Structure 1
Amino acid sequence: MAHISGLVAASVLANPFEYCDIVTTTTHKSLRGPRGGMIFFKKDTVHGVDLEPAINNAVFPGLQGGPHNHTIGGLAVCLKYAQSPEFKNYQNQVVANCKALAQQLIEHGYKLVSGGSDNHLVLVDLRPSGLDGARVEKILDMASITLNKNSVPDDKSALVPGGIRIGTPAMTTRGLGEKEFSLIADFLHEGVQICLEAKSLVSGTKLQDFLKFVSSSEFPLGEKISELRRKVEALTTQYPIPGV
């Protein structure tokens, strides 16, 4: 439950512990803790196997090095906070923001792999637009929007996948709500339109041709990207990163 463990902890998504003898998770992502992992298992013997020594012997020392005290302390704080009403409110807002983002992307005509979202992630299939995730990721990165290129069903290449993946936990932590996430969808759409125009101008068909073209001093769409970046940063600078 790595990606969704924060949503599970807040009872926003279904609880896998009701069905599984072993549950694993990372401790960052939606749980918002330090980078690490946890393994949960039933204390009772399962199908004649005592899981505790089997898991402990598999993990240490072969897979795990020495844990750092500051990481253990950070995880303890994270797990305590995950039991609070504020954390549950946060996770509900994560899902509400993701639904708003997904709906606005659909309004712009994009195809979402699942047709929408019930969690913190949106996976956009860019192939109907004639684009791929690698090119769009590069253009959006130039406009101060960070996301991942991502494979979608029937993709032929992991290096040039057909989609992009967008998550809402980080910007929700900064205080953005549904209205702002609808605006983020508008920014994404504007970036995709710039990417379409850039693709039509580049002479070669390979990804490297595109990346070289958009990074060159002669790139004719630089001002459009700069304008999008100004709008993105005008929004995000209103919501500082916690602790900064």
Structure 2
Amino acid sequence: MTSASGVLSVGELARRIPVGRERFLLGIAGPPGAGKSTLAQRLRDELGVVAVVAPMDGYHLRNEVLRARGAVARKGEPDTFDAAGFVADLRLLRDTPLGVPVPWPLFDRAIDEPTPAGTIIRDERVVLVEGNYLLLTDAEAPGWAPVRGLLDECWYLDAPRPVLTERLLDRHTAGGRTPDEAHLKVTDSDLRNADLIATSRHRADHILSADGSGYRVR
């Protein structure tokens, strides 16, 4: 049931996710800084052992590859990820029977690198796949188009631009950038990514926005 204010609690959102005999892949898309990781983890906590979070961040290309391509400053943009590897592993999740282990990479912010097989997905029947580029077409970013068809459902988490800007500045300064470096990264890369991602919003099954401790859904 939705509250009188029109805001759904995380528990109410979790009850919208089907938990059946087959694995269900729920995408959580949206711009950087929108709170996708937080929402995914809160849903996982509500669902318990039947669910696991599978972030897209583990498919960042390694820094040595980005340096060779002259792309370090653009890290986080669509072509700085292993989109083909991400798609292949999503297919593997769909095709692998429950109980058979599927390794999934994670991203370690402390070393700014992906860690192969950071988590192992086995019996979980709900996989919460969170990331920026889950709804893009090949015209918008080559290599990402197959993702949407591999997800059973995809939600888009939105947030106002000033909120994104503040969160991203805090993230980058906490990661060691100077305020000027953080500002450049946000304005020259992150917010451009956010504009690209926003063009894919209409492909989501539902659009969410945080409201207090809950979320509005449309």
Tell which structure's C-alpha radius of gyration is larger: 1
Larger helix fraction of residues:
1
Q: Which has the higher contact order (CA 8 A, sep 6+)?
A: 2
- TM-score over 0.5 (shorter chain): no
Q: TM-score, normalised by structure 1?
A: 0.25
Q: TM-score, normalised by structure 2?
A: 0.27
